[in-house]
Amino acid sequence: MEKRLLNYMAYMKGISEKAQKGELTPDEIALYRKQSLVQIGFFQHERFIHLIVTMTFALMTVMTLMGICVTGYMPLIALMVLLLILLVPYIRHYYILENGTQTLYRYYDSLEEIKWSETAR
């Protein structure tokens, strides 16, 4: 998913640059805006799923730490280490999804501004 997001961000950057240079017609801009909304929806769904997974692993890690503190059962440390090892990549992936989606919002908004400036002419 990360590769797909990065590829789509590069694609939208190119579209946005073409639109700002005036190389796209208002109809083409409207088409790209519609297509980008669909893709943004996919990435929002992925971001939401990964938020749930990341929060679940974070809660399990905290509960394991609390279990260690309350019971003093030291083998739980191994479980906590495993959860932390999984939690770090989940946080990284969620961070990439969040920032990528925010970048796509900015590209969408830039196409919106160009659309309105085109109609004002």
- The mean per-residue pLDDT over the stretch 16-27 comes to 88
Stated pTM of the model: 0.79
* Residue-averaged pLDDT of the chain: 90
Q: Where are the domains of the chain?
A: 2-111
Q: Using a pLDDT cut of 90, give the percent of the chain over it.
A: 74
Contact 46, 1 (CB under 8 A): yes
3-state secondary structure at position 39:
helix
From the number of C-beta atoms within 10 Å of its C-beta (0-12, 13-18, 19+), residue 59 rates as exposed
- The mean per-residue pLDDT over the stretch 4-11 comes to 94
The confidence score (pLDDT) of residue 119 equals 53
Residue 91 tokens, joined: 């946080």
pLDDT tens per residue, range 45-84: 999 999 999 999 999 999 999 999 999 888 999 999 999 9
Alpha helical stretches, state H, the chain: 2-20, 26-71, 76-120
- The mean per-residue pLDDT over the stretch 8-33 comes to 91
Is the pLDDT confidence value at 5 over 70? yes
